[in-house]
Amino acid sequence: RNSMMFCDLTSVMVGSAGFWVVDEHRVTQFNFSWSPEAVEESLAEVGQFNIEPDGSELVPLWFPTAVAKYKPLNESFFDDSFRITPFFPDATNELLFITDTGHHRVLMLNITGSYQLDVIGQFGVTGIALADSTGLDWPHGIAVTTPAAEASFEPVIANVFVADRRNHRLVKLNVGYPLDGSGRNEHYRWYDLSLLYGGAYGGRENPVPWNETLEDPVGVSVYRHYVLVAEGLGNAITLLKVHHVMFDRLIFVTRLTPALGVQLTGHLAVSMFGYIWYTYKELPTSYGMGTIFLDEALRESPPSEMLDELAAQCYNDTWFHTELLTNESMYMNTLGYFLNAT
Protein backbone atom coordinates (compact mmCIF):
# COMPACT_ATOMS: atom_id res chain seq x y z
CA ARG A 1 0.00 0.00 0.00
CA ASN A 2 1.68 3.20 -1.23
CA SER A 3 -0.23 6.33 -2.19
CA MET A 4 2.72 7.73 -4.16
CA MET A 5 3.27 4.70 -6.39
CA PHE A 6 1.13 3.29 -9.19
CA CYS A 7 0.65 -0.09 -10.80
CA ASP A 8 -0.89 -0.50 -14.27
CA LEU A 9 -2.32 3.03 -14.31
CA THR A 10 -5.38 3.09 -16.58
CA SER A 11 -6.77 6.65 -16.50
CA VAL A 12 -6.63 10.08 -14.88
CA MET A 13 -9.42 12.62 -14.35
CA VAL A 14 -8.28 16.21 -13.89
CA GLY A 15 -10.16 18.93 -11.99
CA SER A 16 -9.54 22.51 -10.91
CA ALA A 17 -8.40 21.49 -7.41
CA GLY A 18 -6.59 18.25 -8.16
CA PHE A 19 -6.96 14.95 -9.97
CA TRP A 20 -8.11 11.35 -9.62
CA VAL A 21 -5.91 8.40 -10.59
CA VAL A 22 -7.16 4.91 -11.47
CA ASP A 23 -4.67 2.07 -11.19
CA GLU A 24 -4.80 -1.62 -10.28
CA HIS A 25 -7.70 -2.28 -7.86
CA ARG A 26 -7.69 1.34 -6.62
CA VAL A 27 -8.92 4.91 -7.24
CA THR A 28 -7.02 7.75 -5.52
CA GLN A 29 -7.86 11.44 -5.10
CA PHE A 30 -5.01 13.96 -5.08
CA ASN A 31 -5.06 17.60 -4.08
CA PHE A 32 -3.08 19.88 -6.42
CA SER A 33 -3.19 23.66 -6.90
CA TRP A 34 -1.57 23.65 -10.38
CA SER A 35 0.89 26.37 -9.36
CA PRO A 36 4.60 25.96 -10.28
CA GLU A 37 5.62 25.17 -6.72
CA ALA A 38 2.67 22.87 -5.96
CA VAL A 39 3.17 19.37 -4.57
CA GLU A 40 0.47 16.72 -4.89
CA GLU A 41 -1.16 15.35 -1.73
CA SER A 42 -3.14 12.15 -1.48
CA LEU A 43 -6.55 12.89 0.08
CA ALA A 44 -8.54 9.68 -0.16
CA GLU A 45 -8.71 6.36 -1.95
CA VAL A 46 -11.10 3.55 -2.77
CA GLY A 47 -9.93 -0.06 -3.02
CA GLN A 48 -6.46 -1.39 -2.20
CA PHE A 49 -3.24 -0.76 -4.10
CA ASN A 50 -2.11 -3.74 -6.19
CA ILE A 51 -4.06 -6.17 -4.02
CA GLU A 52 -6.87 -8.38 -5.26
CA PRO A 53 -10.06 -7.82 -3.24
CA ASP A 54 -10.48 -10.39 -0.48
CA GLY A 55 -13.62 -9.08 1.20
CA SER A 56 -11.85 -7.07 3.89
CA GLU A 57 -12.01 -3.77 1.98
CA LEU A 58 -14.68 -1.20 2.59
CA VAL A 59 -15.12 -0.88 -1.19
CA PRO A 60 -13.41 -3.70 -3.10
CA LEU A 61 -12.43 -2.88 -6.68
CA TRP A 62 -11.38 -5.35 -9.34
CA PHE A 63 -9.46 -3.74 -12.23
CA PRO A 64 -11.29 -0.37 -12.33
CA THR A 65 -10.66 1.55 -15.55
CA ALA A 66 -12.23 5.01 -15.45
CA VAL A 67 -13.96 7.64 -13.31
CA ALA A 68 -16.32 10.53 -14.00
CA LYS A 69 -17.65 13.26 -11.74
CA TYR A 70 -20.97 15.05 -11.34
CA LYS A 71 -20.86 18.55 -9.92
CA PRO A 72 -23.48 21.29 -10.39
CA LEU A 73 -22.50 24.81 -11.37
CA ASN A 74 -23.48 26.00 -7.88
CA GLU A 75 -26.16 25.35 -5.28
CA SER A 76 -28.82 27.04 -7.43
CA PHE A 77 -28.10 25.90 -10.99
CA PHE A 78 -27.09 22.72 -12.82
CA ASP A 79 -25.51 24.89 -15.51
CA ASP A 80 -25.83 28.53 -16.55
CA SER A 81 -29.51 28.17 -17.52
CA PHE A 82 -31.17 25.23 -15.70
CA ARG A 83 -32.24 25.93 -12.12
CA ILE A 84 -32.09 23.35 -9.33
CA THR A 85 -35.54 22.96 -7.74
CA PRO A 86 -36.94 20.83 -4.88
CA PHE A 87 -37.67 18.30 -7.65
CA PHE A 88 -33.97 17.35 -7.34
CA PRO A 89 -33.26 16.98 -3.59
CA ASP A 90 -29.72 15.59 -4.06
CA ALA A 91 -28.62 17.83 -6.91
CA THR A 92 -26.23 19.92 -4.80
CA ASN A 93 -24.11 16.88 -3.89
CA GLU A 94 -20.93 15.94 -5.72
CA LEU A 95 -20.91 12.39 -7.07
CA LEU A 96 -18.14 10.14 -8.37
CA PHE A 97 -18.77 7.26 -10.78
CA ILE A 98 -16.31 4.38 -11.14
CA THR A 99 -16.35 1.63 -13.77
CA ASP A 100 -15.42 -1.38 -11.63
CA THR A 101 -14.62 -3.39 -14.73
CA GLY A 102 -13.73 -6.77 -13.24
CA HIS A 103 -16.89 -6.71 -11.12
CA HIS A 104 -19.11 -5.75 -14.12
CA ARG A 105 -20.62 -2.76 -12.36
CA VAL A 106 -20.61 1.03 -12.05
CA LEU A 107 -20.28 2.46 -8.54
CA MET A 108 -21.78 5.77 -7.44
CA LEU A 109 -20.07 7.55 -4.50
CA ASN A 110 -21.00 10.69 -2.61
CA ILE A 111 -17.86 12.86 -2.42
CA THR A 112 -19.48 16.09 -1.23
CA GLY A 113 -17.60 16.40 2.05
CA SER A 114 -13.85 16.52 2.64
CA TYR A 115 -12.33 13.03 2.51
CA GLN A 116 -15.84 11.67 1.93
CA LEU A 117 -16.12 8.55 -0.25
CA ASP A 118 -19.50 7.01 0.55
CA VAL A 119 -20.85 4.37 -1.82
CA ILE A 120 -24.54 5.16 -2.28
CA GLY A 121 -25.43 2.96 -5.22
CA GLN A 122 -24.36 0.84 -8.15
CA PHE A 123 -25.60 -0.42 -11.49
CA GLY A 124 -24.94 -4.04 -12.35
CA VAL A 125 -24.68 -7.23 -10.32
CA THR A 126 -21.29 -7.58 -8.63
CA GLY A 127 -19.20 -10.24 -10.34
CA ILE A 128 -21.90 -11.29 -12.84
CA ALA A 129 -21.69 -10.32 -16.52
CA LEU A 130 -25.09 -9.38 -17.96
CA ALA A 131 -26.29 -8.10 -21.32
CA ASP A 132 -29.74 -6.72 -20.50
CA SER A 133 -31.24 -3.73 -18.68
CA THR A 134 -29.98 -4.95 -15.29
CA GLY A 135 -26.24 -5.19 -15.84
CA LEU A 136 -23.01 -4.85 -17.79
CA ASP A 137 -20.18 -6.97 -19.15
CA TRP A 138 -16.70 -5.47 -18.68
CA PRO A 139 -17.66 -1.74 -18.53
CA HIS A 140 -14.82 0.58 -19.45
CA GLY A 141 -15.12 4.29 -20.33
CA ILE A 142 -17.59 6.57 -18.57
CA ALA A 143 -18.85 10.15 -18.92
CA VAL A 144 -21.44 12.35 -17.17
CA THR A 145 -23.60 15.18 -18.45
CA THR A 146 -25.95 17.51 -16.58
CA PRO A 147 -28.69 18.64 -16.66
CA ALA A 148 -30.12 15.34 -17.78
CA ALA A 149 -32.06 15.10 -21.03
CA GLU A 150 -35.16 14.24 -18.98
CA ALA A 151 -34.70 16.97 -16.35
CA SER A 152 -37.64 19.09 -17.55
CA PHE A 153 -40.01 16.15 -17.14
CA GLU A 154 -38.56 13.72 -14.59
CA PRO A 155 -36.44 13.98 -11.39
CA VAL A 156 -33.21 12.95 -13.14
CA ILE A 157 -30.09 14.82 -12.00
CA ALA A 158 -27.62 13.61 -14.62
CA ASN A 159 -27.07 11.12 -17.42
CA VAL A 160 -24.14 8.69 -17.16
CA PHE A 161 -22.85 7.05 -20.35
CA VAL A 162 -20.92 3.78 -20.03
CA ALA A 163 -18.97 1.83 -22.66
CA ASP A 164 -20.27 -1.70 -22.10
CA ARG A 165 -17.29 -3.24 -23.81
CA ARG A 166 -18.03 -6.95 -24.22
CA ASN A 167 -21.68 -6.25 -25.02
CA HIS A 168 -20.57 -3.86 -27.79
CA ARG A 169 -22.97 -1.16 -26.70
CA LEU A 170 -23.18 2.23 -25.01
CA VAL A 171 -25.44 2.20 -21.95
CA LYS A 172 -27.24 5.32 -20.72
CA LEU A 173 -27.86 5.48 -16.96
CA ASN A 174 -30.02 8.02 -15.15
CA VAL A 175 -29.10 9.43 -11.74
CA GLY A 176 -32.56 9.70 -10.25
CA TYR A 177 -35.20 8.16 -8.04
CA PRO A 178 -37.04 4.82 -8.45
CA LEU A 179 -40.81 4.71 -8.80
CA ASP A 180 -42.92 2.69 -6.37
CA GLY A 181 -46.54 1.68 -6.50
CA SER A 182 -48.97 2.00 -9.40
CA GLY A 183 -51.87 4.16 -10.47
CA ARG A 184 -52.85 6.71 -7.83
CA ASN A 185 -50.35 5.22 -5.42
CA GLU A 186 -47.37 5.70 -7.72
CA HIS A 187 -44.65 7.78 -6.09
CA TYR A 188 -40.90 8.40 -6.16
CA ARG A 189 -38.56 7.13 -3.45
CA TRP A 190 -37.01 10.52 -2.76
CA TYR A 191 -34.68 9.07 -0.12
CA ASP A 192 -33.11 6.59 -2.57
CA LEU A 193 -30.85 8.24 -5.15
CA SER A 194 -30.06 5.47 -7.65
CA LEU A 195 -28.40 4.59 -10.95
CA LEU A 196 -31.26 3.56 -13.23
CA TYR A 197 -31.13 2.03 -16.70
CA GLY A 198 -32.06 4.67 -19.28
CA GLY A 199 -31.45 2.98 -22.64
CA ALA A 200 -28.64 1.70 -24.85
CA TYR A 201 -27.13 2.00 -28.31
CA GLY A 202 -25.82 -1.06 -30.10
CA GLY A 203 -25.60 -4.43 -28.41
CA ARG A 204 -25.50 -8.12 -29.18
CA GLU A 205 -29.24 -8.51 -29.81
CA ASN A 206 -30.34 -9.67 -33.24
CA PRO A 207 -31.21 -8.07 -35.50
CA VAL A 208 -29.24 -4.88 -34.83
CA PRO A 209 -29.72 -2.04 -37.37
CA TRP A 210 -26.63 -1.62 -39.53
CA ASN A 211 -26.00 1.93 -38.30
CA GLU A 212 -26.43 1.05 -34.61
CA THR A 213 -23.39 -1.15 -34.23
CA LEU A 214 -20.38 -0.53 -31.98
CA GLU A 215 -17.31 -2.74 -32.05
CA ASP A 216 -15.43 -2.91 -28.75
CA PRO A 217 -16.39 0.52 -27.34
CA VAL A 218 -13.66 1.63 -24.96
CA GLY A 219 -13.64 5.39 -24.33
CA VAL A 220 -16.56 7.77 -23.80
CA SER A 221 -16.66 11.56 -23.66
CA VAL A 222 -19.32 14.25 -23.95
CA TYR A 223 -19.25 17.50 -25.91
CA ARG A 224 -22.24 19.85 -25.79
CA HIS A 225 -25.25 17.57 -26.46
CA TYR A 226 -23.18 14.89 -28.19
CA VAL A 227 -21.77 11.63 -26.83
CA LEU A 228 -18.51 10.42 -28.38
CA VAL A 229 -17.58 6.74 -28.29
CA ALA A 230 -14.13 5.45 -29.30
CA GLU A 231 -14.26 1.93 -30.75
CA GLY A 232 -11.21 -0.28 -30.40
CA LEU A 233 -12.09 -2.91 -33.00
CA GLY A 234 -14.27 -0.56 -35.03
CA ASN A 235 -11.33 1.87 -35.26
CA ALA A 236 -13.63 4.89 -35.29
CA ILE A 237 -15.15 7.58 -33.07
CA THR A 238 -18.94 7.49 -33.23
CA LEU A 239 -20.99 10.59 -32.36
CA LEU A 240 -24.42 10.06 -30.83
CA LYS A 241 -27.08 12.20 -29.18
CA VAL A 242 -30.07 11.51 -26.94
CA HIS A 243 -33.42 11.77 -28.71
CA HIS A 244 -35.20 14.97 -27.68
CA VAL A 245 -38.52 13.20 -26.96
CA MET A 246 -37.81 9.48 -26.50
CA PHE A 247 -35.08 9.82 -23.91
CA ASP A 248 -34.21 6.11 -23.89
CA ARG A 249 -33.05 6.33 -27.51
CA LEU A 250 -29.60 7.34 -28.72
CA ILE A 251 -29.37 8.60 -32.30
CA PHE A 252 -26.44 8.17 -34.67
CA VAL A 253 -24.98 11.50 -35.82
CA THR A 254 -21.72 10.76 -37.63
CA ARG A 255 -18.59 8.63 -37.60
CA LEU A 256 -14.99 9.86 -37.53
CA THR A 257 -12.12 7.65 -38.69
CA PRO A 258 -8.34 8.06 -38.35
CA ALA A 259 -5.80 8.05 -41.17
CA LEU A 260 -4.82 4.81 -42.88
CA GLY A 261 -2.43 2.74 -40.81
CA VAL A 262 -3.57 4.29 -37.52
CA GLN A 263 -5.39 2.09 -35.00
CA LEU A 264 -7.35 3.71 -32.15
CA THR A 265 -6.61 2.30 -28.71
CA GLY A 266 -9.84 3.65 -27.30
CA HIS A 267 -9.02 6.56 -24.98
CA LEU A 268 -10.25 10.03 -25.84
CA ALA A 269 -11.10 13.47 -24.44
CA VAL A 270 -12.80 16.53 -25.92
CA SER A 271 -11.91 20.16 -25.19
CA MET A 272 -14.51 22.90 -24.83
CA PHE A 273 -13.45 24.26 -28.24
CA GLY A 274 -14.23 21.05 -30.12
CA TYR A 275 -10.83 19.34 -30.30
CA ILE A 276 -10.93 15.56 -29.87
CA TRP A 277 -7.74 14.11 -28.42
CA TYR A 278 -7.31 10.36 -28.88
CA THR A 279 -4.63 7.72 -28.31
CA TYR A 280 -3.56 5.48 -31.14
CA LYS A 281 -1.14 2.84 -32.32
CA GLU A 282 0.51 3.41 -35.68
CA LEU A 283 1.29 0.03 -37.11
CA PRO A 284 3.41 -1.84 -36.37
CA THR A 285 4.76 -0.52 -33.02
CA SER A 286 4.51 3.27 -32.76
CA TYR A 287 2.22 4.77 -30.11
CA GLY A 288 1.02 8.37 -29.95
CA MET A 289 -1.78 10.88 -29.45
CA GLY A 290 -3.68 12.63 -32.21
CA THR A 291 -6.42 15.22 -32.58
CA ILE A 292 -9.50 15.90 -34.69
CA PHE A 293 -11.18 19.31 -34.91
CA LEU A 294 -14.96 18.95 -35.09
CA ASP A 295 -16.81 20.56 -37.98
CA GLU A 296 -18.52 23.90 -37.42
CA ALA A 297 -21.97 22.29 -37.69
CA LEU A 298 -21.20 20.10 -34.68
CA ARG A 299 -19.62 22.95 -32.72
CA GLU A 300 -22.45 25.43 -33.31
CA SER A 301 -25.69 23.54 -34.00
CA PRO A 302 -28.35 23.84 -31.27
CA PRO A 303 -29.82 20.69 -29.71
CA SER A 304 -33.19 19.45 -30.93
CA GLU A 305 -36.12 20.52 -28.78
CA MET A 306 -39.63 19.35 -28.02
CA LEU A 307 -40.96 22.16 -30.25
CA ASP A 308 -39.54 20.38 -33.31
CA GLU A 309 -41.74 17.39 -32.58
CA LEU A 310 -44.71 19.61 -31.73
CA ALA A 311 -44.53 21.39 -35.08
CA ALA A 312 -44.42 18.08 -36.95
CA GLN A 313 -47.45 16.74 -35.07
CA CYS A 314 -49.60 19.88 -35.03
CA TYR A 315 -49.49 20.88 -38.69
CA ASN A 316 -52.57 19.68 -40.58
CA ASP A 317 -51.54 18.80 -44.14
CA THR A 318 -54.91 19.72 -45.65
CA TRP A 319 -54.99 23.11 -43.95
CA PHE A 320 -51.37 23.72 -44.91
CA HIS A 321 -51.90 23.08 -48.61
CA THR A 322 -55.40 24.48 -49.13
CA GLU A 323 -55.38 27.55 -46.89
CA LEU A 324 -51.93 28.49 -45.64
CA LEU A 325 -50.17 28.37 -49.01
CA THR A 326 -52.84 30.55 -50.61
CA ASN A 327 -52.70 33.23 -47.90
CA GLU A 328 -49.34 35.03 -48.11
CA SER A 329 -49.67 37.08 -44.91
CA MET A 330 -50.78 34.06 -42.85
CA TYR A 331 -47.97 31.98 -44.36
CA MET A 332 -45.32 34.58 -43.50
CA ASN A 333 -46.64 35.04 -39.96
CA THR A 334 -46.80 31.29 -39.27
CA LEU A 335 -43.45 30.55 -40.86
CA GLY A 336 -41.82 33.43 -39.02
CA TYR A 337 -43.24 32.24 -35.71
CA PHE A 338 -41.75 28.78 -36.07
CA LEU A 339 -38.42 30.04 -37.34
CA ASN A 340 -38.12 32.45 -34.41
CA ALA A 341 -39.24 29.84 -31.90
CA THR A 342 -36.73 27.23 -33.06
pLDDT in tens, 206-242: 667 777 889 999 999 999 999 999 999 999 999 999 9
Q: How far, CA to CA in Å, does 35 sit from each of 16, 17, 18, 152?
A: 11, 11, 11, 40
Beta bridge partners of 46: 27
* Digit-coded pLDDT (tens) for 171-201: 999 999 999 988 888 999 999 999 999 999 9
3-state secondary structure at position 41: strand
Which pTM was predicted?
0.88
Q: List the one residue out of 134, 71, 135 whose CA is nearest residue 105.
A: 135
DSSP assignment, residue 83?
B
Q: What is the pLDDT along the chain (342 residues), one digit of tens a residue?
A: 456 678 888 999 998 888 999 998 899 988 888 888 778 888 888 887 766 666 555 578 999 999 999 999 999 999 999 999 999 999 999 999 999 999 999 999 999 987 778 899 999 999 999 999 999 999 999 999 999 999 999 999 999 999 999 999 999 999 999 999 888 889 999 999 999 999 999 987 666 777 788 999 999 999 999 999 999 999 999 999 999 889 999 999 999 998 888 999 999 999 999 999 999 998 778 899 999 999 999 999 888 877 666 566 666 667 777 777 788 888 888 777 777 765
For β-strands 26-31 and 118-123, DSSP reports them as unpaired
Query: What is the distance between the alpha carbons of residues 42 and 32, in angstroms, rounded to a whole number?
Result: 9
Compute the distance between CA of residue 278 and CA of residue 153 in angstroms, rounded to an integer: 35
